[in-house]
Structure 1
Amino acid sequence: MLLSPTPHTEAADSAHLSDNDIAPQDWQGGPIHCAACEFVALRSLPHRQGCALGHACMQDVYARRIDRFFRWHPELADGQLAHPYFEVRAIAARYVSVFRLGALVDDPDETVRMQVAMRLPLTQLARLADDPHREVRIRVAHRLPAAELARVRHDPDYGVRERVAQRLPLAILPTMVHDPDRSVRLCVAQRLAMPALLRMVDDAEPEVRRVVAERLPVPLLFQLVHDTDWRVRWEVAQRADPALLQQLQDDPDEEVRAAVKARCKVVRVIEGLDHG
């Protein structure tokens, strides 16, 4: 048997607050007056057809309640793109028609523009490529078509360049091997193909060179066998051929010498199988 919905009254809603019992209040810190709301008619409708003070309310300061309201009524989002509270505009941007998103590209709040960057059609996304806020530009770099990524590979923020390095076409990726930030060059080293990878054997950061040692073809590992950092030499020892292992057997670092011994055992097994 279907139960009739519980009538939505302010007293009932306040007595059964959701969202960790955070009291309802409007975005300016005052009480919510349902009678003055433009959507007051929704109060008489059941559950998801209506609204609920302290649970699903566009006038509330709490973003979760605003989002729940628009989830129930996505068709109302288009009419709230000029709302004075940035959370309302930002959450409305999740539900508004993509044809209306262009109106929010120049919104004064970065939270709104971040939502726009996640939904704006790709043909218009470049409009946010020079946004003043890094989080907006990071989202742009995450979605820009690969062919357009090159235009943001020199962004002043390393987070944007990291995302670019993760997605940039391999043919263009070598242009980032000298990026000033270590984390960006790590992303480059993890993807770069030969022979461009050779350009990073002299990188200033040991962690970058370690990634290079991990990916460099075995015949070329000799270029890192005398690296100044033990972690790089340890990585070389993991894959080195017998001739190169001899150069590492007296390495000053105990961890490297142990790796050489372990690798020698593997090599002997392989050679035994080959001659068997």
Structure 2
Amino acid sequence: MSDKTKADAGYGKLGLCSGCGYFPDYLNSHRCTPGDACIRAHSGRQIDRFLRTNPDEAHLYLADIFWERRAIAARYAPEALITPLQRDNDEVVRRVVASRIPLDQLATMSRDPDREVRLSVASRLPEAQLATLISDPDYMIRATVARRLPHGQLARLAKDPEREVRKVVATRLPPFALHMLANDPEPEVRAVVAERALPGLAAALLQDPEWWVRLAAVSNAPLEFLEPLLSDPEAEIRDAAKARLAEANAA
């Protein structure tokens, strides 16, 4: 039995091979398998397996009518060919493009309506261009920007309306600049400040109304400020102060 006869008997009956330009050559050379790796299937898994095996074919599907086929093709096609898909009407396609497009073209996608697209942009955009996303309406985008901004620009997010963004800023500001967040309305932010504060600021935070902020400040405050904490209403703070004083006396 010839290879074509075997292919017809074993796979043609599934219907997907009928009229396919890759049949029977790709099937016989194990470059596709109906039900497992097939460009004509309406299955992302099968499409991906086909294009993973045959990446040179990906560019042929960048304008396909099926959004998932376009999105998967964009993963494998040459970067130079996926630029037009920045404006694709499907956000999944644009997410793939944002994750692969050359950096010098990425800024054009910074105002994409889809959050995940902008997250990809924020995670890849050159530092010099990150400031364009500081006012993004989505706090997750701004938090991503805060994780990557140069230290000299972090102060611009110290008053961000979202607590999670300010927490990121507190983890990255140089210790000498943490005073900008020492009076933050959220104790979670102040606790991050206390963990990293220089001695003078840490001493001030020992008076914080929230016990976990005071606890975080214990390890950085000067020893002479710890004695009053031995009477703190919170046992964890008393124990932390006592342990640090004992360690200092033993040294």
Tell me if both proteins adopt one fold, taking TM over 0.5 as the criterion. Answer: yes
Q: Does 1:245 align with 2:246?
A: no
Q: Secondary structure at the match of 1:249?
A: helix
8 Å Cα contact 2:95-2:116 kept in structure 1: yes
Name the residue aligned to 1:170.
151
Question: CA separation in 1, counterparts of 2:133 and 2:118?
Answer: 9
Letter in 2 for 1:240: A
Equivalences for 1:182-261 in 2 at 5 Å? 182-261=163-242
Equivalences for 1:50-129 in 2 at 5 Å? 50-129=31-110
Deviation at 1:149, TM superposition (A): 0.2
Question: CA separation in 2, counterparts of 1:232 and 1:101?
Answer: 50
Question: CA separation in 2, counterparts of 1:86 and 1:42?
Answer: 27
Question: CA separation in 1, counterparts of 2:193 and 2:15?
Answer: 60
Letter in 2 for 1:40: F
Letter in 1 for 2:184: D
CA 1:238–1:96 in structure 2 vs 1: closer, same or farther (change >3 Å)? same
Number of residue equivalences:
247
- Note the residue ranges of structure 1 that are not aligned, 5 or more in a row: 15-30, 271-276
Letter in 1 for 2:73: A
Q: CA RMSD in A?
A: 2.0
Question: CA separation in 2, counterparts of 1:244 and 1:10?
Answer: 85
Letter in 2 for 1:229: E
8 Å Cα contact 2:51-2:73 kept in structure 1: yes
Question: CA separation in 2, counterparts of 1:8 and 1:232?
Answer: 73
Letter in 2 for 1:205: E
8 Å Cα contact 2:198-2:220 kept in structure 1: no
8 Å Cα contact 2:229-2:241 kept in structure 1: yes
CA 1:253–1:45 in structure 2 vs 1: closer, same or farther (change >3 Å)? same
Equivalences for 1:128-147 in 2 at 5 Å? 128-147=109-128
Question: CA separation in 2, counterparts of 1:124 and 1:172?
Answer: 23
Letter in 2 for 1:210: A
Q: Normalised by the size of structure 2, how large is the TM-score?
A: 0.92
Larger helix proportion, structure 1 or 2? 2
Q: Normalised by the size of structure 1, how large is the TM-score?
A: 0.84
Deviation at 1:61, TM superposition (A): 2.0
Q: Secondary structure at the match of 2:183?
A: coil
- Note the residue ranges of structure 2 that are not aligned, 5 or more in a row: none
Question: CA separation in 2, counterparts of 1:174 and 1:41?
Answer: 63
Name the residue aligned to 1:160.
141
Deviation at 1:207, TM superposition (A): 1.1
Deviation at 1:217, TM superposition (A): 1.0
Q: Deviations over 1:2-54 (max 9, x none)?
A: xxx9x97477569xxxxxxxxxxxxxxxx75211223224444322xx21001
Q: Deviations over 1:194-251 (max 9, x none)?
A: 4321110011111111110011112331221110111010111223322110232211
Letter in 2 for 1:223: A
Q: Which moved more, 1:197-206 or 1:247-256?
A: 247-256
CA 1:11–1:214 in structure 2 vs 1: closer, same or farther (change >3 Å)? farther
Report sequence identity in percent.
Answer: 42
